[in-house]
Amino acid sequence: MDSKTLTRTISSSDRAQDPCVLVIFGASGDLARRMLLPALYDLAYDRRLPARFAVLGFARSQWDEDEFRRVVKTGIKEFARRSIDEAVWESFSGKLRYMSGNYDDPAAHTRLSSMLDSIDSELGTAGNRLYYLAVPPTTSPTIISKLRNDKISAPVDSDSWSRIVVEKPFGRDLESARELNRLIHSQFPEESVYRIDHYLGKETVQNILVFRFANGVFEPIWNRRYIDHVQITVAESLGVGDRGGYYDQSGALRDMVQNHIMQLLALIAMEPPIAFDGRAVRNEKVKVFNALRRMEPAEVATSTARGQYAAGWIGGEEVPGYTQDAAVDSSSTETYVAMRLFIDNWRWADVPFYVRTGKRLPKRTTQIAIQFRKVPHLLFKDIVDVSDMEPTVLTIRIQPNEGISMKFLTKVPGTPTRIRPAMMDFLYGAAFLNEAPSAYETLLLDALQGDATLFTRADEVEAAWEIMTGVLDGWQQMPSAQFPNYEAGSDGPEEADRLIESDGRQWRRF
Ligand code: NDP
Ligand code: BG6
């Protein structure tokens, strides 16, 4: 394999071929402005978009197309990887369309349908549609029902296709996720449904599979015989910002654990898939979720910890507490979750997976630490303090300082014999000169190309919800949590420390 092959990303990076209209519902929103449209511009810059392509923004905001283009351009200037190149912008903005309307208004959908027809005639987009639901989760069912009722997702001719991208969180519990799947399937076959989890578009997350399965050395020790436990940390220093309306209905478990953390866990724990394609990879992930031990309500109390941040200090700046951020008088919504999970299969029996996520923690870091077992026989116990003999830890840094490091023990030169941890470190920034595409670039391109490998499947999302709905039910049966219970800028609530310390282990430092 030459170096060119090695440096290719896993997902296809060629230009999308099929002509298409991307319809963004919620085009006036935060996700569209900060992520989707900048990512599309970056794809246009790199000539990855189809030659015959258009974006049709749909939202309630009463904008005209000039206003939409102005907002998009400002967003690109701030958030795109590439700077504005007037020639690229000219061509890209010529493909932007906007229409306003209510999501549940049949007349608006009729107008949408005729606008799509006229884009097909004008730009040769051939009836292919990619619908993107960038709206609050509660709005998605209305839009999907309208797509069905108005038949606007029906192929214009036998060669055209319609796909739908649905943002996370996909439902709010197992029952609503099932209901949403039923509704979507009444309109789109599963292979046309792209449930997005942007963590799967991150290069460092995709690299987990390459790291595990392209190197022969790790797989033989990737099991309960050699691994003591796994810690998955997704920490954010930011608070909920202006998303309080959404977040207060959601909380950290629905916002981060059910999707992003569960996906990281599945990639770390899954068996080698028989092929690198959507079906085989997702089959293995579902098996992990099915093997996750369900928690009885009593176990939820001992295996999980919740928190909500109070005012505090981060990076020398005073920051408000959650209720002030979210503009609510009081709230029982968690902004921090920690839990201990077990995967009941031969590979992982009795190996705890500790996961935690929170807002307003000391810094932003997402990392997975694989802690190996201690050596079985302490050869050096008579000459060194054994408490210094920390076990080997492999850390996959998803963000920032993207890379992988291995901490191991080494002899300090000289006499007497002393032992100290040392680090082998791989840094993406130093190893590769080319800048990685953003997660949304990768995922949008995959959806345009019809590659669903990095999207979640119906059974996968339901299996992940099954575990998390058990936790939500357990919390409901417990006495109300005493919130707030951690200061912004601290490491999280004491309950989380007690959770891991009761097993004789400790959280890794941020
Ligand atoms: P926003 O609150 O910014 O909403 C998006 C747009 O949806 C709004 O601009 C609004 O446009 C429209 N909308 C439709 N119905 C409603 C309603 N009842 N209340 C409020 N707005 C409505 O959300 P985001 O863009 O942040 O999120 C959209 C989706 O993307 C969510 O599912 C979110 O979980 C997901 N997501 C967001 C991320 C982010 O960083 N923002 C990251 C990952 C996922 P209008 O009023 O013009 O119709
Ligand atoms: C989103 C959550 O899915 O992920 C946000 O809704 C969170 O609350 C964000 O801040 C984190 O994404 P990233 O890519 O910054 O780690």
**What does the chain come to in residues?**
510
Structural element, H or E, at residue 293? none
Tens-place pLDDT, residues 329-385: 999 999 999 999 999 999 999 999 999 999 999 999 999 999 999 988 878 888 777
Torsion sign, CA atoms 459, 461, 462, 467:
positive
The ligand whose atoms approach the alpha carbon of 239 most closely is 2
* Total-model pTM: 0.93
| Candidate of 25, 31, 438 to mutate for ligand 1, largest count of ligand atoms within 8 Å of Cβ | 31
Closest atom, ligand 2, to C-alpha of 247: 8
| pLDDT (mean) for 269-280 | 94
Q: Is the CB of 105 under 6 A from ligand 1?
A: no
Q: Which tokens belong to 162?
A: 């319609």
The pLDDT tens digits of the residues spanning 95-142 come to 999 999 999 898 999 999 999 999 999 999 999 999 999 998 889 999
- Residue 131 in tokens: 């619908």
Looking at ligand 1, which atom is closest to the CA of residue 255?
A: 34
Residue nearest to atom 34 of ligand 1 (CA): 168
pLDDT for 2: 38
Whether the predicted pLDDT of 18 surpasses 80: yes
Q: Which atom belonging to ligand 2 lies closest to the Cα atom of 238?
A: 10
For the chain, list the domains and their CATH numbers: 3-167 (3.40.50.720), 200-501 (3.30.360.10)
Amino acid of residue 342: F
Q: Report helix, strand or coil for 236.
A: coil
Mean pLDDT, all residues of the chain = 92
Query: What pLDDT sits at residue 148?
Result: 65
Summarize pLDDT for 460-474 with one digit per residue, the tens: 999 999 999 999 999
Q: How far is the CA of 30 from the centre of ligand 1 (A)?
A: 6
CA of 125 to the centre of ligand 2 (A): 33
Q: Whose CA is nearest to atom 18 of ligand 1?
A: 139
CA distance linking residue 4 with residue 107, whole number of Å: 52
Q: What is the pLDDT of residue 434?
A: 82
Active site residue 260: yes
Beta-bridged to residue 131, according to DSSP, are: 23, 164
Q: Tokens at residue 365, please?
A: 């870091």
Out of 166, 170, 198, mutate this one to test ligand 2's pocket (max ligand atoms within 8 Å of CB): namely: 198
- 157-208 pLDDT, tens per residue? 557 899 999 999 999 999 999 999 999 999 999 999 999 999 999 999 999 9
Paired with 231 in beta bridges are 354, 369
